[in-house]
Structure 1
Amino acid sequence: MTRALKGSGFLGLAVMMAVGLHQFVILSGGSAVPPWMIGGHAHLGVLSILAIVMGFAVPALGVTGTLRTVVTVLFIAGQWGIPGIVWLGEGFGLAFLMPTGFLWGGALIVAMLIMFYKSITQPADAVGGGPAAGIPGDD
């Protein structure tokens, strides 16, 4: 499951970069980039970086079983749903999709609350829960 989070994160960054290049082409042609395109681009970028971080945080916090699946599915749905509805709703005139933003945002919030719960309830000596071992300097 963490492979899905990391993979979704890297794919999201690639899509975000492609959209960024498209925005550059628009600007180079002398036109303004539509605000809906900028908003979707920014959200996909940030959420994709967080998906990669989540891919490492889930096993570090010992999230397993059904909770691991729930966190993964909810986060990936929110990662793509938030920018997707901005692009589809505003950019392609499918405004009836805009209320689903509450669904995608809710999915992200629930995933984060599960991670919050796991982060405060794991024992201090669990994987990722204790102090980091000192790493000798390379000087």
Structure 2
Amino acid sequence: MMGVGMYQNFLNATGAGVPAWMIGGHAHLGVLSILAIVLGFAIPAMKVTGTLEQVVTWTFILGQWGLPLVPWLAVGGGVAVLHPTAFLWGGLLMISMLIMTWQAATQPEAAVGGGGDVDPTPADD
């Protein structure tokens, strides 16, 4: 991601301008990478395990990499046949996020670290 951003800066600095397909792919991958980090914390925090954990993980991974590749390969690389696959990759991301939304909405507050009768312990600093 940093390399793509630096290349875009180079294109802008030299006056060439950045093609829209490059900006779109870079933005998708950047935002989805940040969301992947959040998901890495949310899955264990919400105690999502087993098959459901695998479904959330793999639908997100495939969508995370597939969606940004569509503008890069379909437009930038001239492989126009890949355009319809954006719906597949986006759909996979939606499945992953809908499952996690359902988990967040249906779990008791204590199951995700909130509530309960335990008082916090002060630090020793």
With normalisation by structure 2, the TM-score equals: 0.89
- The answer as to 2:72 corresponding to 1:87 is yes
Alpha-carbon separation, structure 2, partners of 1:129 and 1:111? 22
Q: Which moved more, 1:44-53 or 1:25-34?
A: 25-34
What is aligned with 2:114? Answer: 130
Encode CA deviations 1:80-134: one digit per residue, 9 max, x unaligned: 11111110001001111010001000000000111011112212211x2524976
Alpha-carbon separation, structure 2, partners of 1:30 and 1:68? 46
What is aligned with 2:58? Answer: 73
Alpha-carbon separation, structure 2, partners of 1:42 and 1:75? 16
Structure 2 alignment gaps of length 5 or more: none
CA shift for structure 1 position 28: 2.0
Q: Structure 2 vs 1, CA of residues 131 and 17 (structure 1 numbering), >3 Å: closer, same or farther?
A: farther
Q: Structure 2 vs 1, CA of residues 34 and 123 (structure 1 numbering), >3 Å: closer, same or farther?
A: same
- The answer as to 2:44 corresponding to 1:64 is no
What is aligned with 1:47? Answer: 32
Q: Is the 8 A contact 1:85 1:97 kept in 2?
A: yes
Alpha-carbon separation, structure 2, partners of 1:113 and 1:134? 32
Q: Is the 8 A contact 1:122 1:129 kept in 2?
A: no
With normalisation by structure 1, the TM-score equals: 0.81
What is aligned with 1:110? Answer: 95
Alpha-carbon separation, structure 1, partners of 2:34 and 2:2? 12
What is aligned with 1:119? Answer: 104
Amino acid at match of 1:67: L
Structure 1 alignment gaps of length 5 or more: 1-15
CA shift for structure 1 position 136: 6.1
Amino acid at match of 1:130: G
RMSD: 2.1
Identity score, percent: 59
Aligned residues: 123
Structure 1 or 2, whichever has the larger Rg, is 2
Q: Secondary structure at the match of 1:30?
A: coil
Displaced runs of 4+ in structure 1, greater than 2 A?
Answer: 131-137
Q: Is the 8 A contact 1:78 1:107 kept in 2?
A: yes
